Amino acid sequence: MRQTFPLGRIAGIRLGAHWSMLVTVGLFTWVLASYLTGTASTVVVWTTAVSGAVALCAALLAHELAHSIVAQHNGVQVEAVVLWLLGGVSELSEEARDARADLRIALAGPLTSLGIAAVAFLAGAAAAAVDQDGPITAVLVWLAVMNTVLGLFNLLPGAPLDGGRVLRAVIWRRTGDRLRAATAAARSGQFLGTLLLMIGIAELILLGHVGGLWLMLLGWFLQSAAHAELTLAGLRHRLGHSMVRDVMTARPMAIPAAWPIAALLRSDAADSGHRVFPVVDDTGHPVAVVAWSDLAAVAAPARTTTTVGSAARALPAGALAREDEPLIDVASRVVLRPNLDAVAVVGEDGRLIGLITSTDLVLACDRSALGLPPRGRHRTGHPSATSEGTTP
């Protein structure tokens, strides 16, 4: 969701739209225009269709905003609301603290959609009294139907759909076991996703409906999102309340971006046994990450002139962390590929103070499974670059 353009703020919540939203607006307009054909002149039909499509997107936004606003009221921080191809996503930066809040946040969206459907239906009934076969009446009825479908579809009991969140909250409330609740909701989501996918395929092949493609896409998305939820639920359970500082390697060996690759190969880093290094600028701020495999791509004669900075990969925004952050937040926002990626931990001044690699995360999970603290007393981390006195 990186290529989003900002739509402003409501109630302090950042709103954005992914470029794929344009496809959705286009699709809605096209569907609506063909549905309205014959009710008025071509210009009126298309104008009404575009307005209807935009109104539906606004309704999607209202659905997500309802989740976010209720989340904020329940003490859950909200990062942003983003609209994309398949609707909207509320980016909550943390999870609800109790089952009751979880339930309220989950229900806010579908109830808003059903509320909008009711309003659109009443407005449609009023419009019908004036012009029964007019395009305005048709659009209002369409909006009522679409919002009803949206509200009911989202109440299907499988995560990450809202109904899955409701299911999670109910099981969590009953059993007091959050992991069990999240796992059950995610498994139900996987099942629902597979079911939608199969219905979509059957619709496409047996009935020849192109609409089957849409169901297939939804089913596939639901299934993979449910799978990710399942993994995350396990990880969340394993990492529990561990903080970044419990797992990070403090004072990691950092490589200045301006170093030629040849200098890095001559330095202590080459013999350190580590395969991934943070790259810092001349003020000590981490800017990139470099693995031995990145350097192998540079031909030997060019290694004296090519800097580490130009061979390294830029750090994505999610790969910067604070030492007092919960580890699970970091683990859920970045995917760390073994021997390739790392999370740079920065201090108040933005300078590098620690490093987390996928090995550190796996180790923390394994130790937690054995009932051990995140890290042993005998740390075998990166030696400090300064104490080793590395020079190019």
Residues found near Zn ion in the complex (CB under 5 A):
109, 154, 162
Q: Shortest gap between Cβ of 70 and Zn ion (angstroms)?
A: 11
Q: Under 8 Å CB-to-CB from 162, ≥6 apart: which residues? A: 67, 106, 107, 109, 110, 154, 155
Nearest residue to 236 via CA among 96, 332, 361, 116: 332
Q: Shortest gap between Cβ of 150 and Zn ion (angstroms)?
A: 9
Specify the residue, 71 or 269, whose C-beta has the smaller distance to Zn ion: 71
- The catalytic position among 64, 203, 229, 325 is 64
Specify the residue, 182 or 346, whose C-beta has the smaller distance to Zn ion: 182
The answer to whether residue 229 is catalytic is no
Residue 52: CB atoms within 10 A of its CB come to 25
- Shortest-Cβ-distance residue relative to Zn ion: 109
Q: Shortest gap between Cβ of 106 and Zn ion (angstroms)?
A: 7
Specify the residue, 154 or 188, whose C-beta has the smaller distance to Zn ion: 154
Secondary structure class of 261 (helix, strand, coil): helix
Q: Shortest gap between Cβ of 268 and Zn ion (angstroms)?
A: 52
Q: Shortest gap between Cβ of 237 and Zn ion (angstroms)?
A: 24
Give the pair of three-digit tokens for residue 32.
């609506």
* Residue ranges in the chain assigned as alpha helix (H): 21-36, 42-73, 99-130, 135-154, 162-175, 178-206, 211-239, 244-247, 261-266, 292-296, 308-311, 327-333, 358-369, 385-388
Cα–Cα distance, 187 to 378 (Å, whole number): 39
Length, in residues, of the chain: 392
Cα–Cα distance, 58 to 123 (Å, whole number): 17
Specify the residue, 18 or 237, whose C-beta has the smaller distance to Zn ion: 18
Specify the residue, 71 or 280, whose C-beta has the smaller distance to Zn ion: 71
Nearest residue to 312 via CA among 341, 270, 353: 341
Specify the residue, 4 or 154, whose C-beta has the smaller distance to Zn ion: 154
41 class by beta-carbon count within 10 Å (0-12 exposed, 13-18 middle, 19+ buried)? exposed
Q: Are strands 87-92 and 249-250 parallel, antiparallel or unpaired?
A: unpaired
- Interhelix angle 99-130/135-154, rounded to 10 degrees, is 160
Q: Shortest gap between Cβ of 75 and Zn ion (angstroms)?
A: 19
Cα–Cα distance, 215 to 204 (Å, whole number): 9
The set of catalytic residues is: 64
